[in-house]
Amino acid sequence: MKITVAGEKKEVKEGLTVAELIAIEDVETPEYVTVSLNEEFVEQEGFSATTLKEGDEVEFLYFMGGGR
């Protein structure tokens, strides 16, 4: 099936979960990543239970702190 990850179309297996996609994509610091699925945030506790579907759009977001 085809999904879009960070703007890039990819072919992935049916039934892939968000957690599996994070591993496949070798996401840096996965414990701190926020995932947007079709412009809706997925809670970290739901990564293993959220199955991707044909045409889904996934973004990995990192919130950075800082300043003075």
- pLDDT (0 to 100) of residue 28: 86
Tell me which CATH code domain 2-61 carries.
3.10.20.30
CB atoms < 10 A from the CB of 39, how many?
7
How do the domains of the chain map onto residue ranges? Answer: 2-61
| pLDDT of 67 over the 80 cut | no
pLDDT average, residue stretch 48-53: 98
Identify the residue whose tokens are 């003075």: 68
Q: Out of 1-10, 17-26, 27-36, pick the least confident.
A: 27-36
The residues facing 58 across adjacent strands are 5, 37
pLDDT average, residue stretch 16-31: 94
Confidence of residue 62 (pLDDT cuts 50, 70, 90): confident
| pLDDT of 68 over the 70 cut | no
